[in-house]
Amino acid sequence: MGEDAQRGELDLAAVFGRVARRWPIALGMALGGGVLGLGITAALTPEYEAKATLIFPNATPSFGLQSLGLQNAVGSENMELVEGIITSREVEDGLVQATGLKRRDLRENLRVSQIPGRRLVTISYASPDKSQGLKVVTESLSRLNQVQESIGVNTSKKRLTGYREAYDEKAQTVREIEQQIENFQRRSATVPTAEDGFTGSDYLKNQQEALLKLQVATRKVEAKRAAAQRVGSAAVGGLPTGLERETKWRDELLKASIELDQLRAKYQPGTAQVKEAEEKLATTKSNLTKEIAQYVKSVQSGADLETAELIADQVVAKWEYARAQELARVAPQEAAEYRGLIGRLQQESKARDELKTEADAEAVRNKVEAKIWQVLDEPYVEEEAVNKKFGMNTGLGLVLGGLLGALAANRAAKK
């Protein structure tokens, strides 16, 4: 065995010796190979590569990929996933129809590649026609996204649809309750609001204040009549019963009072709207008092202006007390009804908002999970032709020519 090894070393040395003696042959063929590589490269029709890059953001596939036989979408299998979809019969048929290319050309030139360990996959197509290559890659990307969207009809989207439908139903319920509250405020005598935590107690307080005002006005009128009787003057009475003017005056006061209550229900105390309504009510009362006093003075013999004004104050106080009494009577019942509506509104609004939050969160999850891949680089064309690499092709020609030259030199030296 030692002799065989020595003979192998001697033979190898002899080969190198023979090649060295015939080096012009080896050099010539090496140069010839380089020139040939250069010539072939120059003669080739330039081909330009169109590309697009995908990124796989998730560690695992979603939306039923396992049912397609694609068990994983991680690491090196990203490429297999994309390649498997692109080479499927349905997608390939679509590409043939869209690009007009032959199926063989697509299979030979459409490539899917990936850098090991990366989650980036490149789709490329080499063609002498830049626009054709770009079209193939663009169509491939479109077909991939169509497949992704079709796979994306999954549990997450169904949940999202369910949340949105439930939200729409709950929102409709809230709108109906709001309409009920609006109708209630329009027809209710007490005009409750959501802001004041309405209980009806304010109307009881208003009733007591109106009663005190009426009692004060009544005492003043009675004192004036008593003084007139002491001096032998005729007692001055009030307004005649069934007076048509009284209804008109009372309606004017009621209208101004209701307008003030309605504005207080909409706006905070001290706002311009409330102040304006308060001033309007005060002006209405003042004008009515003067008008009533003038009427009393004109129909009651012996009534002076002071007495007529006291009687007018008493009449207006009676009207205000009657309204305050009615409001205090209905306020507890309306307060209970109103609190029930407000409670339902708060409960249904909370449920609606929770559904909205769930729907928004599900929409985000759906958007992220549904994207098995995302487009990182939109389709583009490389500026340099992929088959016009003069340096590499010339170097390869030199190496191959040199090897062939070495074989030729060795044989020539043996002769």
Is pLDDT above 60 for 172? yes
Res 43: pLDDT: 46
Is pLDDT above 80 for 376? yes
Q: Are strands 120-127 and 48-55 parallel, antiparallel or unpaired?
A: antiparallel
Strand order in the sheet with 110-114: 110-114, 120-127, 48-55, 374-381
Res 173: pLDDT: 94
Q: For the residues 136-141, what does the mean pLDDT come to?
A: 89
Tokens 């490269």 label which residue?
Answer: 41
- Report which of 167, 200, 90 is spatially closest to residue 353, judged by C-alpha positions: 167
Which range (96-100, 223-227, 281-285) has the least confidence? 223-227
196 located within any domain: yes
220 located within any domain: yes
Do 202 and 322 have their domain in common? yes
Do 339 and 208 have their domain in common? yes
Do 295 and 402 have their domain in common? no
- Residues 180 and 328: their CA atoms lie apart, in Å, by 22
Q: For the residues 391-407, what does the mean pLDDT come to?
A: 52
Instruction: Name which residue leads in pLDDT, 147 or 141.
Output: 141
Do 398 and 358 have their domain in common? no
Do 314 and 239 have their domain in common? yes
Do 231 and 274 have their domain in common? yes
Do 250 and 311 have their domain in common? yes
225 located within any domain: yes
Do 283 and 415 have their domain in common? no
Where residue 400 falls among pLDDT bands split at 50, 70, 90? low
Share of the chain above pLDDT 90, in %: 7
Q: For the residues 323-335, what does the mean pLDDT come to?
A: 82
Where residue 69 falls among pLDDT bands split at 50, 70, 90? very low
Domain that holds residue 211: 188-365
pLDDT digits (tens, 9 = 90+) for 10-26: 455 555 555 455 455 55
115 located within any domain: no
User: H or E element: which one contains 196?
Assistant: none
Where residue 388 falls among pLDDT bands split at 50, 70, 90? low
71 located within any domain: no
Do 343 and 397 have their domain in common? no
Is pLDDT above 80 for 407? no
Do 345 and 414 have their domain in common? no
Share of the chain above pLDDT 70, in %: 65
378 located within any domain: no
pLDDT digits (tens, 9 = 90+) for 113-135: 887 667 788 888 888 788 888 88
6 located within any domain: no
Res 354: pLDDT: 92
For the chain, the domain total comes to 2
Where residue 7 falls among pLDDT bands split at 50, 70, 90? very low
Mean pLDDT is highest, among 88-92, 242-246, 399-403, for 88-92
- Report which of 129, 121, 122, 85 is spatially closest to residue 105, judged by C-alpha positions: 129
Tokens of 69: 């036989």
Instruction: Name which residue leads in pLDDT, 77 or 193.
Output: 77
Do 338 and 396 have their domain in common? no
Cα dist from 334 to 187, 191, 201, 208, 210, whole Å: 10, 9, 12, 19, 21
Is pLDDT above 90 for 170? yes
- Report which of 167, 108, 165 is spatially closest to residue 136, judged by C-alpha positions: 108
Do 205 and 333 have their domain in common? yes
123 located within any domain: no
Q: How many CB atoms lie within 10 A of CB 95?
A: 22
Is pLDDT above 80 for 356? yes
- Residues 290 and 67: their CA atoms lie apart, in Å, by 91
Res 335: pLDDT: 78
Res 174: pLDDT: 94
pLDDT, the chain, mean: 74
